[in-house]
Structure 1
């Protein structure tokens, strides 16, 4: 009789258990490099809201990091930091993201975020997987599978990005337009460079003045007096004019820009390393 009562939902005095209703923080992110998969913030939020409604959970906050790389550390991502802070304060029962790689493309950041969530006794959910349960010493495969999946996703993104870079380099080497702002006198149409007739006429005039012996500074003054804007709509400076009229100056400017970008990348790496070292000590 007891067995029959347990299976019946119509026995007087018995109630059917309801799924647990959780308070969840939604976290969504897009990167600075643009989404290779086209999975933007609006689509991510829509998927999360649909999942939460289906499972009967309440979304109490949407935390967003727009134009932030997944490789950025957690303290450089205010949205993720806010979400983890809400969880640590006990104001939410867990976090919901579209996928684990929305938390971070870098496996170390992903694992750090999960460790914070679990350390406070909270729960982690993703739309594509459901709940990611905490690691268990008696089930080491659980952690292994999660980390291998994360590493595989990171590898796939890296291969896609490499193919895109190689494609741009090949197109540029063949004289095609690959990326970046078109040079003065040109404009991009349907991913193809064409002549900008107005700018081309200005460039011809600049070369004529140079051939007549007009100095670089005087050419810049003439352009500004005539109200002719630069490519970006600003005023002309002698260095800008010189880059347009001198091949050597253009090559030097490109080299200087490349060196500055490389130095900035190295500085960013060092700053991240210093923050990690500070935490460990």
Structure 2
């Protein structure tokens, strides 16, 4: 039997249109069984854009192909699972070709190779996938800007002291918010504590960061300089006042 490997990818928030990794894995297994292909391993990337070449699963795939000889093809569900950027798509297919490996798309047969018509068809499909990605990005950006204009949370990393609600907004995290209030209280003492001193204080009292790691001066500095703790949300030039998110407390200097 011909030795092959499989690859799948889904991007963040698009599982409704792309399916889950498990769906793609099932389709690849079924295709290999039907066509008497020996599937050695399946690699996948979840929550990763097709416009990026630096992906953990993709890197593992190429490392496997370089280490294991005799693999003839990479089986994918659709071409846009490999990439949603035409240049990245063709670069990856070129790298596979240099390894003596072809790409096999379940939904788009006979796309591999450098024959003019096949290559032209493949590049047209890659260009369409790139255009679709651009439209998706544009809609997401417009949606986030509109949400920001209305005072909502437009996305991004959740700052320490907050959590996301079911509808995607920000809310105060009860326990971590107390740590943030403590940091601002220490900075507002009659003799303010330095960022280093505050970090040492938190570590000595076994108060962890969101990732259960140590505090550092720069971490404390980032908290003190982030406008969100004063109830200001910013996105794309929009500034919204959210008193319900303010964690700085009174501006009056207090001693511990």
Q: 1:234 to 1:104 in 2, by over 3 A?
A: closer
Alignment match, 2:12: 34
After superposition, the CA RMSD in angstroms is 3.7
Aligned equivalents of 2:136 and 2:199: distance in 1? 44
Report the equivalent of 2:82: 103
Aligned to 2:144: 168
What CA deviation, in whole Å up to 9, does each residue of 1:81-117 have, x standing for no partner? 544776xx5x244442211223333333433555576
With over 3 angstroms needed to count, the CA separation of the structure-2 counterparts of 1:213 and 1:243, relative to structure 1, is farther
Secondary structure of the structure 2 residue equivalent to 1:229: coil
Distance of aligned partners of 1:169 and 1:216 in 2 relative to their CA distance in 1, 3 Å threshold = farther
Specify the alignment match of 2:53 in structure 1: 72
Tell me the secondary structure at the aligned position of residue 130 of structure 1. Answer: coil
Residues 31-79 of structure 1 show CA distances to partners (whole Å, capped at 9, x for unaligned) of: 6x53634534322221011122233x222422525366544179x7341
Q: Is 1:213 equivalent to 2:190 in the alignment?
A: yes
Question: How many correspondences in the alignment?
Answer: 220
Partner of 1:272: none
Bigger helix share: 1
Q: TM-score, normalised by structure 1?
A: 0.61
Q: TM-score, normalised by structure 2?
A: 0.66
Higher strand share: 2
Gaps of 5+ in 1: 1-21, 251-281
Change (3 A) 1:204 1:118: closer
Q: Which residues of structure 2 form unaligned runs of 5+?
A: 230-256
Q: Does 1:52 align with 2:32?
A: yes
Distance 1:73 1:212 in 2: 46
Counterparts of residues 181-192 of structure 1 (less than 5 Å): 181-190=157-166, 191-192=168-169
Separation in structure 1 between the aligned mates of residue 182 and residue 64 of structure 2, nearest angstrom: 55
Alignment match of 1:149 (pick from 115, 125, 131): 125
Work out which of the two has the higher radius of gyration on C-alpha atoms and give 1 or 2. Answer: 1
**Of residues 174, 180, 192 in structure 2, which corresponds to 1:197?**
174
Higher RCO by CA contacts (8 Å cutoff, separation 6 or greater):
2
